[in-house]
Chains A and B, each alone.
Chain A
């Protein structure tokens, strides 16, 4: 893994004005993975949008790390169900169209 794709947690916390303990508690919830390089904690750049979303939920909605875990899980479920719903709708429309040709 190249260092250029890592973002220092210190810098992230200072920028977003959150305590480093918050990021640790997010890691304890298994929501992100902290990578250590010579005892300095980093997150992977591609995980930045997720961590920023977590910070928004924490700061803007005052949801604690446990609650954020539940919210993210439910959002994943909604996303899965929405995709399944779309695919079923397409299937139904195909079947209706087949029926119409009878």
Chain B
């Protein structure tokens, strides 16, 4: 277990006064508070450390023990035994008062070895039998674009518990859904928190997705573009035959209605597939081809 330098965490000297500690804590807490840095795990970790450092250094008794035994914290156990009788003067319940951030599991092992189970530094928190909702959990589910083309069941493991959910077809990358009652346990028998699942959708296809529409590029031979013809193009659900009119220009866009991505929670509704034609100009011409193209260019009045 590593020694934790609480003074370093709060960026203060060992001789810092109570006011200095409070000031340093406020300054760093404002910078790294999870409510001000949503989704930033680094800030959350930093805030936990700042909180722990403040928990120890702002309490004269704990600070004294830390200063005395800090580096040899293994011996603190003996100190603990001797001083057990004067413990728990503060009478803080250590119980979570809200569905927000930290419980005692958020304190470092170092803290637990020195001071026992974690206690929150808040003066409030008398439980009084009031029921409160448990904390909300957040999870990410990584899926491929092919997987979200149709509704599928997935099993997630959240805090050691298996949860089977049906992911509706058409979920977006970054979309979050809420599952009621799958969060942390409530306080005093209050309702459980909720589970928020964010879907991270990776594109494993050649199609580009934007909302419910799909985009793809289709290569068109020079002669088909000029003379017209029939081509077969891939869609998400198989191939379709398309008629290409003579004189098709590069970058022409064709919209295939209903061949795009399923619309979220609207069964049977699909977006469109938009195809862009890329015309392939031959790079290596045979002598005969060169002659024929030269002939053709001569037929053209401006020679272009």
Interface residues of A (CB under 8 A from B): 11-12, 14-18, 45, 48-49, 52-53, 55-57, 59-62, 71, 75, 78-79, 83, 86, 90-91, 94, 97-98, 101-102
Q: Which residues of B contact A102 (CB under 8 A)?
A: 278
Flag if B215 contacts A52 (CB, 8 Å).
no
B217: contacting residue among A56, A83, A101, CB under 8 A? A101
Q: Which residues of A contact B126 (CB under 8 A)?
A: 14-15, 17
Asked whether, in the complex, the Cβ of A15 is within 8 Å of the Cβ of B278, the reply is no
Number of contacts between A and B (CB, 8 Å)? 77
B73 to chain A, nearest CB (A): 27
Q: A16-B97, A98-B217 given as contacts; is B29 within 8 A of A60 (CB)?
A: yes
A98 touches B215 (CB 8 A): yes
Q: How far is the CB of A77 from chain B (nearest CB, A)?
A: 12
Establish whether residues A61 and B29, one from each chain, have CB atoms under 8 Å apart when the complex forms.
yes
Asked if residues B128 and A97 are in contact (CB atoms below 8 Å), the reply is no
Within 8 A of A (CB), among B235-270: none
Q: Are A57 and B35 in contact (CB under 8 A)?
A: yes
By a CB distance below 8 angstroms, the chain A residues around B38 are 75, 78-79
Query: Could you tell me if A75 and B36 are in contact, using CB atoms closer than 8 angstroms?
Result: yes
User: Are the CB atoms of B217 and A11 closer together than 8 Å?
Assistant: no
**Which residue, of A18, A60, A71, has the highest number of chain B Cβ atoms within 10 A?**
A60
Residue contact A94 to B33, C-beta cutoff 8 Å: no
Listed from nearest, the 10 A-B pairs whose CB atoms lie closest are A17-B124, A52-B98, A94-B208, A101-B217, A11-B130, A15-B130, A53-B35, A61-B30, A86-B174, A16-B124
Give the interface SS of chain A, mostly helix, strand, loop or mixed: helix
Q: Which of A45, A49, A91 contacts B136 (CB 8 A)?
A: A49
Q: Does B99 contact A (CB under 8 A)?
A: yes
Distance from B98 Cβ to chain A, minimum over Cβ atoms (Å):
4
Q: Which of B24-51 contact A (CB under 8 A)?
A: 26, 29-30, 33, 35-36, 38
Which of A17, A53, A61, A101 is the one whose CB lies under 8 Å from B125? Answer: A17
Excluding A12-B130, A59-B124, 10 further A-B contacts by CB distance (< 8 Å) are A15-B130, A17-B126, A49-B100, A52-B99, A52-B100, A56-B35, A56-B101, A60-B33, A91-B210, A101-B278
CB contacts (< 8 Å) of B26 on chain A: these are 61-62
- Chain A residues, Cβ within 8 Å of B136: 49
Residue B111, interface by CB 8 Å: no
For residue B55, CB closer than 8 A to chain A, the reply is no
Contact in complex: B133, A18 (CB < 8 Å): no
